[in-house]
Amino acid sequence: MEERPPLNENIIKGLIKARFLIQHAISHLHKGSELDNMIVIHDLDNAVEYMLKILCDYYSINEFKNQSIDSLSFPKLISKLHKRLTENKREGISYISDLKNLHKIRNLVQHAAINPQTEINKYIEKVELFFTKTLKNHFDLNVDELSLTKLIDDSKIRELMESAQKYTIENKYLESVVETRNAFENAYYMQIIKSNIHLNSVPVIIKFKKENIYVQSFFSKITNDIELLSLNIRHDKYYRFKSYCEHIPSEHCKNWQGNSVMQRPWNEADAKFCFNFVFETIMMWQNRVSDKLYDISENPLFKKYSFFESISDIPLDYFEEGSCLYVDNSTELVHLFYCARPTVDKLKELTKISTHTKIEKHFEEGRIESRTIERIKFIETDFSLVTNDPERWRVILWYEMIPFTSRFFVYKNGIESETTVYLNKASKQVLEKVLSFYDNNTNISNEILKVRKIKGNIECVSDLQGITIIDDDIINTLSKNTYIGGKNENR
């Protein structure tokens, strides 16, 4: 017998994928519908074909390597491969006649739409035996040595799922469920930060929270169910998995708010259900990911420019991916971002006081280019835990820019100069520039100068509301781009 070739990563991954196909077939076994029976047969047949191709690759049997099963025909392939292996004094293909019959049934299922219900259990057993014997005879491996988690691309999620497997082997079933929960949270987070459904729901959620907590709760649930549909998650499996998570005790929860008490010991079936549900979900999402049109992080401008934000001297240290700023024509803004626990704790303290100073700085290649200072007032805030490991929070800040409190500064060669427009000192030409988006900006500027002449200084929004040609939109523009407080300079 020739020496067995060394195993490489591609062969290992191929074997794992074949095992996954068999497990996917088994997962449909007890569902009972005609469609599920068809899926079982197709998965089993695909797993066998996959294994045959792996053997061709492993032993470098090139005459079959680049041929499709259809062009060679399945019976011919399996017979020729068996002959080639035995000629080289290797183990042949086990259960050849059963595998050929399986392929015939698969063709009947596909082309004649028969229901293969009576054949399913027999062929699951035969394919599992074929897979187990092939692993041992040709690769010197046991099924338990093939970890499905190696198929997971994301290193953190893979680590959590490997940990879940390890705990199940050690009979630590609760700990295994905790790790699958953590893995699911991370995978789900990676989906929702790109979801238009989630992004569009955020301003509505925070505004409902302000008006009616019951409406907010209902809307959040409806949004979550729509999200599950868009992500192809089966509701029945998801809510069973969620029920397990709701029984996880406080020591395993970063934001514990009570849990249902498990009325029996955690068992292997609990751990296996959670692992299988999460693994299948991760693989579904992973396999449906399409390539990006481009990677924004590779754009030189992305690396060239950066910014810094703080509220009352507390830096907003958040993960840029998934953040969003919602701006309309009013002075109100909604800011969505994700961050770690320390930032959340500091922001929660801030919410006890409604009015704060917000600072934003922009940098080019590490050098400060501009700075904006404004006063804001919190309207509503929302903090919710997204992932336990790592601890990651979703923050929604709904705040109002206090009118006429924005000041602007630019930097040249490290020297700061102020570019703020002081409403009570600005010339007609400067006011026209601020209002350049409006066709009647000259008339509006003249009216503002008249108010200043009569009142001495404009002190608040109401001083402008009596002017016929100044509507709310114009007032908002002036509120966000001019300043009336503090030291006045001729600008």
* Structural domain for 162, as ranges: 150-195+231-288
Residue 37 structure tokens: 């029976």
Distance from C-alpha of 396 to C-alpha of 205, rounded to nearest angstrom: 9
Name the pLDDT band for 178 (thresholds 50, 70, 90).
very high
Same domain, 94 and 26: yes
Q: Is the pLDDT of residue 257 over 90?
A: no
Same domain, 369 and 441: no
Please give the backbone phi and psi of residue 263, each rounded to the nearest 5 degrees, phi first. -85, 10
Sign of the alpha-carbon dihedral angle for 322, 160, 233, 287: positive
Q: Is residue 414 part of a domain?
A: no
Average pLDDT over residues 468-478: 90
Summarize pLDDT for 350-375 with one digit per residue, the tens. 988 889 999 999 999 889 999 999 99
Average pLDDT over residues 31-51: 88
Average pLDDT over residues 20-25: 89
Same domain, 36 and 129: yes
Q: Is residue 141 part of a domain?
A: yes
Residue 339 structure tokens: 């961050």
> In Å, what is the CA distance from 426 to each residue of 93, 409, 419?
89, 17, 12
Summarize pLDDT for 384-398 with one digit per residue, the tens. 999 999 999 999 999
Q: Which of 106, 128, 146 is the last residue of a domain?
A: 146
Same domain, 120 and 190: no
**Residue 275: what pLDDT?**
95
Q: Is the pLDDT of residue 302 over 80?
A: no
Q: Is residue 169 part of a domain?
A: yes
Residues 6+ apart with CB under 8 A from 370: 361, 362, 408, 409, 410, 411
**Residue 290: what pLDDT?**
63
Q: Is the pLDDT of residue 2 over 80?
A: no
- What are the start-end ranges of the H helices in 28-172? 34-58, 62-65, 69-72, 74-87, 96-112, 120-139, 155-169
Same domain, 278 and 308: no
Burial class (CB in 10 A: 0-12, 13-18, 19+), 394: buried
Same domain, 340 and 251: no
Q: Which helix (H) or strand (E) holds 324?
A: strand 318-327
Largest CA distance in the chain: 107
Residues 6+ apart with CB under 8 A from 283: 20, 151, 152
**Residue that the structure tokens 């579904």 belong to:** 284
Residue 93 structure tokens: 């293909």
Same domain, 37 and 130: yes
Summarize pLDDT for 194-252 with one digit per residue, the tens. 899 999 999 999 999 999 989 999 999 999 999 999 999 988 999 999 999 999 999 99
- Answer yes or no: are the C-beta atoms of 330 and 311 closer than 8 Å: no
> In Å, what is the CA distance from 213 to each residue of 124, 216, 220, 346, 383?
51, 5, 10, 24, 14
Sign of the alpha-carbon dihedral angle for 265, 269, 273, 279: positive
> In Å, what is the CA distance from 319 to each residue of 190, 194, 230, 304, 368?
12, 14, 24, 18, 21
Q: Is the pLDDT of residue 73 over 90?
A: no
Same domain, 180 and 269: yes
Q: Is residue 1 part of a domain?
A: no
Percent of the chain with pLDDT over 90: 54
Summarize pLDDT for 148-168 with one digit per residue, the tens. 788 888 999 999 999 999 999
Cα–Cα nearest to 70, from 93, 108, 22, 103: 103
Distance from C-alpha of 194 to C-alpha of 156, rounded to nearest angstrom: 19
- Answer yes or no: are the C-beta atoms of 232 and 289 closer than 8 Å: no
Overall domain count for the chain: 4
Q: Is residue 374 part of a domain?
A: yes
Buried b (16+ CB within 10 A) or exposed e, 415-432: eeeeebbbbbebeeebbb
Q: Is residue 97 part of a domain?
A: yes
Distance from C-alpha of 275 to C-alpha of 297, rounded to nearest angstrom: 34
Same domain, 308 and 364: yes
